[in-house]
Structure formats: structure tokens, C-alpha cells
């Protein structure tokens, strides 16, 4: 069982590329696109289906350039 989520990551203006670079090393997260400025599209895979929210909370707390993480899809495998 695992969880797969589509998410839109909203950053402060102009910070999209910087945040994308930092997220590149984030386990389970695959960047799918961005608008080059402040929004990133990503697919997030969490192994046990219970860590997605923890990851989101950690990123929101740790990265001041991330303003919000909005799921666009959540599904269980």
C-alpha cells in the first residue's frame, strides 16, 4: 500500500526555480513542471500512505519560500 499525490506548490514570487532545486533531492517527490516563477507541479509518492502530510508540514515549516502545498489528487495503491 502506498499513496500517490499530485500537488501544486505555491512559492513566494520568483522563488519557484530555487525551491525546485531544493526539492530535487526530496525522496519520493518528482517535479512535473513549473511556471518559472512561483508555482510547481509535482507528484509525491509516500511509502506507507501516512507520511504525505508529515512531509508537507515539514516543508512548509522549513522552507519560508513555500507558501502552500495544494493537493490536486490523492490516491492509494
Partner 1 sequence: MSSMNRREFLKTTAAASALIALGSRAQAAPADPPGLFWTKSVCRYCGTGCGLYVGVKDGRVVSVKGDTDNHNAGFLCLKGFLLPQIMRAPDRLGHPLVRKGGGFVQTSWEEAMALVAARFRTAIDRYGPDAVGFYGSGQGLTEETYAANKLFKAGIRTNNVDGNPRLCMASAVGGYVSTYGKDEPMGCYEDIDHADVILLIGSNTSEAHPILFRRIVKRKQTGKDVKVVVLDPRRTPTSRVADLHISFTPGTDLAILNAMANVLFAEGFVDEAFVAKHVAFGEGADVNKTLADYRAFLAEYTPAKAAAVSGARAEDIVTAARWFGEKGRTAMSMWTMGLNQRTKGVWANNLVHNLHLVTGKIGKPGSTPFSLTGQPNACGGVRDGGALSHTLPYGRVVANEKHRAEMEKLWNVPAGTIAPKPGLATIDMFRALEEGKLKALWIMCTNPAQSLPNADRYRRALRREGAFVVVTEAFHPTRTSELADVVLPAALWAEKEGVYGCGERRYQLLEKSIAPLAEARPDLEILCDLAKRLGHGALLPWRSPAEVWDELRAASRGTAYDFDGMTRERLRQSHGMLWPVPAEGHAGTKRRYVKGDDPLVPADSADRILFYGRPDRKAVVWLRPQKAPEEVVDAEYPFWFTTGRVIEHWHTGTMTRNCKELRQANYESLAELHQDDAIALGVQSGDAVRITSRRGSEVFKVRVVDTARKGVVFVHMHDPNHMCNRITIDAVDPASRQPEFKICAVKVGKA
Cβ distance 15 to 34 under 8 Å?
no
CB of 4 to partner 1, least distance (A): 4
Phi first, then psi: give them for residue 69, nearest 5 degrees. Answer: -125, 115
By CB under 8 A, residue 45 contacts partner 1: yes
By CB under 8 A, residue 51 contacts partner 1: yes
Q: In whole angstroms, what is the distance from residue 14 CA to residue 38 CA?
A: 6
Q: Which residues bind partner 1 (CB under 8 A)?
A: 2-8, 10, 12-13, 30, 32-35, 37-45, 49-54, 56-57, 60, 64, 67-68, 70-75, 77
Amino acid at each position: 500500500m502506498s499513496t500517490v499525490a499530485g500537488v501544486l506548490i505555491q512559492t513566494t514570487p520568483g522563488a519557484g526555480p530555487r525551491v525546485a532545486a531544493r526539492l530535487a533531492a526530496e525522496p519520493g517527490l518528482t517535479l512535473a513542471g513549473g511556471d518559472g516563477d512561483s508555482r510547481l507541479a509535482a507528484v509525491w509518492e509516500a511509502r506507507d500512505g501516512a507520511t504525505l502530510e508529515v512531509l508537507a508540514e515539514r516543508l512548509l515549516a522549513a522552507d519560508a519560500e513555500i507558501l502552500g502545498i495544494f493537493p490536486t489528487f490523492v490516491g492509494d495503491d
